[in-house]
Amino acid sequence: MKTILMVVAAVGIMTSGLGYAQSGADVAKAKGCLNCHEMDKKKVGPAIKDIAAKHKGDKSAEGTLAAKLKEGKGHPKSAASDAELKAALQYMLTAK
Ligand code: HEC
């Protein structure tokens, strides 16, 4: 009985973890990024597609942008955690 409960719990943690990792768009929404960034057009900040185009091919973009957002240097400071920023940035940088 105990083992069954543990398996159920482990599967629950795994699936919620997966869901989290895949939902960069949800993170961007939940953390307010989409209040200032829209997919196709400039709002307060540049369009998500323009951000993706600007940093295309730059493998270090995710790291530099995460640092920029975290410290609020040249960008409104973000309250998102590292993992959330990573997910949101991946979503933005891979937008087409
Ligand atoms: C209060 C408005 C606002 C919010 C909220 C906001 N941004 Fe921005 N963002 C801007 C503005 C303005 C710029 C343009 C200035 C700049 O490049 O830093 C920008 C630029 C960016 C850029 C491009 C930076 C570059 O150097 O090319 C990225 C990436 C970005 N934002 C990601 C995010 C993410 C991820 C979130 C949510 C955690 C977010 N933004 C929330 C206003 C906002």
Q: What is the pLDDT of residues 10-64, one digit of tens each?
A: 554 454 554 444 489 999 999 999 999 999 999 999 999 999 999 999 999 999 9
Ligand 1: residues with CB < 6 A are 28, 31-33, 35-37, 44-46, 51, 54, 65, 69, 74-76, 78, 80, 88-89, 92
Residue ID of nearest Cα to ligand 1 atom 18: 75
Judge contact between 12 and 56, C-beta under 8 A: no
Superfamily of domain 24-93: Cytochrome c-like domain (1.10.760.10)
Closest ligand 1 atom to Cα of 64: 26
pTM > 0.85: no
Amino acid at 28: A
Span from the CA of 44 to the centroid of ligand 1 (angstroms): 8
Taking residues 58-83, report their average pLDDT. 92
Q: What pLDDT is stored for residue 19 in this prediction?
A: 46
Q: What pLDDT is stored for residue 55 in this prediction?
A: 97
Closest CA to 31 of 76, 64, 65, 71: 76
